[in-house]
Amino acid sequence: MSANNRPVLLRNGLVLTMDDSHTVLPGADVLVVGDRIAEVGHGLTAPDGAVEIDASGGIVMPGMVDTHRHMWQTAMRGYGADWTLTQYFVWYYLESGKLFRPEDIYAGNLLSAIEAIDAGVTTTVDWSHGLQSADHADAAVDALEAVPGRFVLAYGNIQQGPWEWSTSDAFRDFHRRRVDGGRLAGFQMAFDVTGDPAFPEKAAFEVARELGVTVTTHAGVWGATNDDGIRLMYENGFMTPGTVYVHAATLAADSYHRIAATGGSVSVSTESEQSAGQGYPPTWQLRNHGIPVSLSMDTSVWWSGDLFSAMRTTLSADRVREHLEAHGKKETVTHHHLRAEHVVDWATRGGAKALGMDSEVGALTPGRQADIVLIKNDASPAMFPILNPYGHVAFQAQRGDVHTVLVGGRLVKQDGKLVGTDLAAARAKVGATLDHLRETLGEEAWQRGMNPDIPEASVLENPYQYTEYDAGSAQWKH
């Protein structure tokens, strides 16, 4: 990460440090020297040549962390807005997914990476399970390295069994070339455990152990992965600290106990779980098991790519479940368990902890990497007054209010505009990818994929609905 030559001083903002005691400092400054935070406090002196940024009327917080995003799929942004998981699997295994060439992976990753930093997401896990060849994997990393954000590559290939790709020479070679000494912020292996009693995934876990990398896995996904996968991992000694369980929605208490006891964490993608059908967003259960949470957006082929949406939907999903459970017992919830402060923590510090990066990012404390977001929009009526800062971030602010972003001390967005990023190039590459996919699939399949059939439904008969009024008897008749 190359740093600015000049120090940066964010002046007079409402600073959410997200440090261990969640210190909030109104009217405070944050000084960045080189790639790190030098000082946080009031009335700091600007070093010679510092870039001063007026943060008054705004909120300064750590850069957000997304622990699970299939970045390559951003090339088809919004295409699957009306899908369930079933349509996604058809698209992925049988249609567009397998047609992605290395340059298409590059295009999707490039646009997604730019989108991440623009929205204040300074660290993103690229859950890259479309890596059908070493060329695809190189293209994924090339795109991530072309954008000045922090990216963790979670390597996967859903077109093969994990025991196949992970044990190949090509994968070993890729790991040597691009991970050791490369510019990635981290590396994980990404694959799912089906629950097959033969546990063929064991070979992939052994590779992960040998290479010393963590595993991220879609667990507790209705109809795809379940408690058997968790049990097999546990019985074979592969539920290790640092393992990230994505969704973890459709699981029994016993699986949550195993995750909690072995030092794992859960990446919750509420916007995804709410409409794809993995299961109910699980934070209301994770809270009861003491399982650490991070947030993620999953994929922009369906949903948004910003963590404001993740915070908002996660807070709401947890609360509506709490109310619903209580109403089922004829009880009333008078105080919410989950607070806005919790989801802001999950979107920043929680993500850093899940990725083992907590000593470097996730909070605004001296010595940490300067990954910083300033939320400020003087033209917006929704940015005044700011009374409850955590509530403001979770329920009032949005990506358009992201004014300034620093990654490792480097200004990557300033005054609402990206700096040093070629969005036009990404747009052209994505355009070429869409031409390729559309031509290969044909227009009919393209349209069908985007517009799944609506199941038949009829409106219930309504006993209060009458058709005729008899004026003589002054009554409605059926």
Which of residues 10 and 266 has its CB atom nearest to Zn ion in the complex? 266
Look at phi and psi of residue 298 and say left if phi exceeds 0, alpha if psi is from -120 to 50, else beta. left
The C-alpha R_g of the chain, in whole angstroms, comes to 24
Which of residues 129 and 175 has its CB atom nearest to Zn ion in the complex? 129
Stretch that binds Zn ion, among 71-79, 164-172, 296-304, 340-348 (CB under 5 A): 296-304
The residues, any chain, with a CB within 8 Å of residue 45's CB and separated by 6 or more, are none
| Per-residue x/- track, 297-326, Zn ion (CB under 5 A) | -x----------------------------
Contact 282, 248 (CB under 8 A): yes
Which of residues 296 and 421 has its CB atom nearest to Zn ion in the complex? 296
Which of residues 158 and 317 has its CB atom nearest to Zn ion in the complex? 158
Stretch that binds Zn ion, among 40-48, 294-302, 344-352, 369-377 (CB under 5 A): 294-302
Which of residues 192 and 360 has its CB atom nearest to Zn ion in the complex? 192
Nearest distance, CB of residue 477 and Zn ion, angstroms? 56
CA 304 – CA 183 distance, rounded (Å): 27
Nearest distance, CB of residue 111 and Zn ion, angstroms? 18
The residues, any chain, with a CB within 8 Å of residue 67's CB and separated by 6 or more, are 125, 216, 244, 246, 267, 294, 295, 296, 351, 354, 355
Q: Tell me how far the alpha carbon of residue 449 is from its chain's centroid.
A: 24
Stretch that binds Zn ion, among 25-33, 166-174, 290-298, 310-318 (CB under 5 A): 290-298
Which of residues 95 and 298 has its CB atom nearest to Zn ion in the complex? 298
Contact 310, 297 (CB under 8 A): yes
**Whose CB is nearest to Zn ion?**
298
Helix (H) or strand (E) holding 448: helix 443-450
Which of residues 17 and 128 has its CB atom nearest to Zn ion in the complex? 128
CA 397 – CA 393 distance, rounded (Å): 5
Nearest distance, CB of residue 188 and Zn ion, angstroms? 13
Footprint (CB under 5 A) of Zn ion, residues 63-102: none
Nearest distance, CB of residue 119 and Zn ion, angstroms? 18
Tokens, residue 264: 């794992």
Contact 97, 393 (CB under 8 A): no
Nearest distance, CB of residue 469 and Zn ion, angstroms? 56
Nearest distance, CB of residue 305 and Zn ion, angstroms? 13
Nearest distance, CB of residue 285 and Zn ion, angstroms? 19
Nearest distance, CB of residue 306 and Zn ion, angstroms? 17
Stretch that binds Zn ion, among 292-300, 301-309, 320-328, 350-358 (CB under 5 A): 292-300
How many of the chain's residues bind Zn ion (CB under 5 A)?
Answer: 1
Which of residues 298 and 341 has its CB atom nearest to Zn ion in the complex? 298
CA 60 – CA 353 distance, rounded (Å): 20
Nearest distance, CB of residue 70 and Zn ion, angstroms? 6
Helix (H) or strand (E) holding 316: helix 307-328
Contact 351, 362 (CB under 8 A): yes
Nearest distance, CB of residue 126 and Zn ion, angstroms? 11
Q: Can you tell me which residue has the tokens 């006891």?
A: 261
Tell me the longest C-alpha to C-alpha distance in the chain.
Answer: 93
Please give the backbone phi and psi of residue 119, each rounded to the nearest 5 degrees, phi first.
-90, 5
Which of residues 126 and 401 has its CB atom nearest to Zn ion in the complex? 126
Which of residues 298 and 318 has its CB atom nearest to Zn ion in the complex? 298
Dihedral (C-alpha) 301, 121, 404, 9: value to the nearest 10 degrees? -170
Residue type, 473: S
Stretch that binds Zn ion, among 109-117, 291-299, 358-366, 427-435 (CB under 5 A): 291-299
Nearest distance, CB of residue 127 and Zn ion, angstroms? 6
Tokens, residue 463: 């006993």
Contact 62, 364 (CB under 8 A): yes
**DSSP per position, 340-362:** HHHHHHIIIIIHHHHTT-TTTSS
Which of residues 37 and 276 has its CB atom nearest to Zn ion in the complex? 276
Stretch that binds Zn ion, among 187-195, 237-245, 293-301, 317-325 (CB under 5 A): 293-301
Footprint (CB under 5 A) of Zn ion, residues 381-440: none
Contact 194, 158 (CB under 8 A): no
CA end-to-end span of the chain, whole Å?
75
CA 126 – CA 173 distance, rounded (Å): 20
Which of residues 69 and 231 has its CB atom nearest to Zn ion in the complex? 69
Nearest distance, CB of residue 417 and Zn ion, angstroms? 31
| Per-residue x/- track, 161-200, Zn ion (CB under 5 A) | ----------------------------------------
Strand partners, 417: 414
Contact residues: Zn ion, CB under 5 A: 298
